[in-house]
Amino acid sequence: MQTGDRIVQDLPFRWGVQGRIFVIGGLGYLFDAWDIALNGFLMPLLGAHFSLGMGARGLVATANLVGMAVGAVVWGAVADRVGRKKAFSATLLVFAAFSVLGALSPTYGVFLVFRFLAGVGLGGCIPVDYALVSEFSPKKHRGRILTALDLWWPIGVTLCGLVSTALIPLAGNWRWMLATMVLPALLLFWVRRGVPESPVYLTRRGREAEARAVIDDLVARTGATPRPYVIPAPEPDPGPGGMRAGVDQFRRLWGHSARITSVAWLLFVTIMLVYYAALTWMPSILKEEGYGETASFTGTTLMSAVGIAGVVASTWLVDVVGRKRLIGFSAPVATAALVVFALVLQVRTAALVGIAVFGFLIQLAIPALYAYVSELYPTTLRASGFGWASSVSRVSTGFAPMLFGSLMWPLLGLPLTFAVLGVVVLAAVLWMALAAPETRGRELDTVTGSPPPRSEGSRAAADGAPVPPVPR
């Protein structure tokens, strides 16, 4: 007899059922993108309001990104303890509360504290949202559903640019830019109240009656044929062994293949470093070069809007040309486009073309990177390999905006700064070419050899649990 989890995985996809959860979860991802992009629009305005230097401006993005990194860890653990639904809603409440307080900040130091705390709230959206969406998605469509979630990112960045540009004429507009996000966040919180708890989570926690109620409702609403099923006994609570399990996974990743793990980490760190540097500093760069506030905000919005087409193209090209070729071409050329952009800044049309080319190419690279790294590891290490690459990337990119504004740009100049980043990306891509295989069309567990012995802490991955894309 099938288990309740298997019943959920075999259901037909219906837009009114799983599609609704996809949209609600995607809106949380959109808010994450909006909030990160907002750092770039806030920096020049805060710099003028509080008379800040370039290094101090970079702290806006650093405080927010570090808060999101903390939130991703904290809320992931909370969701495993209290449930996806409660954590799903609480993340937005925390974000909304501290965004309001941030908009009322009397000093820059207070503002940074509230941006950090707002990041802690919103940082939980991605891991919680992806867990919930993946656990409701039919296995037949799960890959496409989780890949399609990545489209919400450039949409969120584009909306942030459009709203921020529209708010420029308002007095004290940086405060309005923060406050504007609060109302839709609260509306999304209200909508999320109608999302059921994950039946997979309920099963794992031994709440059989609640799990059966959700599963039976899903079967009825999707029009599937009711079948008998069993709810397996709940798994034992892992207790305080999580840290030890994490250390064990770290050792096993490098023990399995130092080459594969070094490729995964270097690709994530370098490519995301370039992306965040451009995303957070582009409005400031354009404004420093004499562009007006509207023009500087419009340029950044153009970069993200073109990126929507890049994500769509990447989902097709990744299986046509292969992961390594797509990353190996798009990532270095995207950084080269930034170098050209920096050299032609005084020619506004050429500069905007450079921004658009970068926006398209970097969004070719990032979805392909997600697919590639998750396929490099065997099933028993896939989730942890993906997660560790994400964590290393988050930590490094969290401090990138501050270093870019206080050290690299002032000392090296803009063209040379982007050229240095390009050399680093090129080095990572060359190491990928030498040290890691192409994964297109290959059985997952034959990419790097036989999987290592199964260990506690990798049970979810070994049982085929979906691996969500990495939080950016």
Using one digit for the tens of pLDDT, what is the confidence trace for 81-119?
Answer: 777 778 767 888 888 889 889 999 999 999 999 999 998
Q: Which residues contact 351 (CB under 8 A, 6 or more apart)?
A: 286, 299, 341, 344, 345
Q: 1-227 domain in CATH 1.20.1250.20? A: yes
By the 8 A CB rule, do 275 and 337 touch? no
Query: What pLDDT score does 461 carry?
Result: 38
Q: What is the mean pLDDT of residues 115-135?
A: 79
Q: Which CATH architecture group holds 248-472?
A: Up-down Bundle (1.20)
Structure tokens at 463: 């049982």
Query: What pLDDT score does 225 carry?
Result: 92
If you count DSSP H runs as helices and E runs as strands, how many of each does the chain have, helices first? 21, 0
Q: What is the mean pLDDT of residues 144-163?
A: 85
Same fold, 1-227 and 248-472: yes
**Taking 90 as the threshold, does the pLDDT of residue 351 lie above it?**
yes
Q: CA 463, CA 139: separation in Å to the nearest integer?
A: 13
Q: Could you tell me which residue, 414 or 139, shows the higher pLDDT? A: 414
pLDDT digits (tens, 9 = 90+) for 160-199: 999 999 888 875 579 989 888 887 888 788 877 778 888 8
**Taking 90 as the threshold, does the pLDDT of residue 354 lie above it?**
yes
Q: Which residues contact 80 (CB under 8 A, 6 or more apart)?
A: none
**Taking 60 as the threshold, does the pLDDT of residue 58 lie above it?**
yes
Task: Identify residue 5 by its one-letter amino acid code.
Answer: D
Domain boundaries, the chain: 1-227, 248-472
108-123 helix and 18-50 helix, angle to the nearest 10 degrees: 170
Query: What pLDDT score does 143 carry?
Result: 64
From 245, 234, 429, select the one nearest 336 (Cα to Cα): 429
Query: What pLDDT score does 353 carry?
Result: 95
On average, the pLDDT of the chain sits at 83
**Taking 70 as the threshold, does the pLDDT of residue 469 lie above it?**
no
pLDDT digits (tens, 9 = 90+) for 222-241: 999 999 999 988 766 554 44
Q: Which residues contact 115 (CB under 8 A, 6 or more apart)?
A: 39, 60, 63, 64, 67, 98, 102
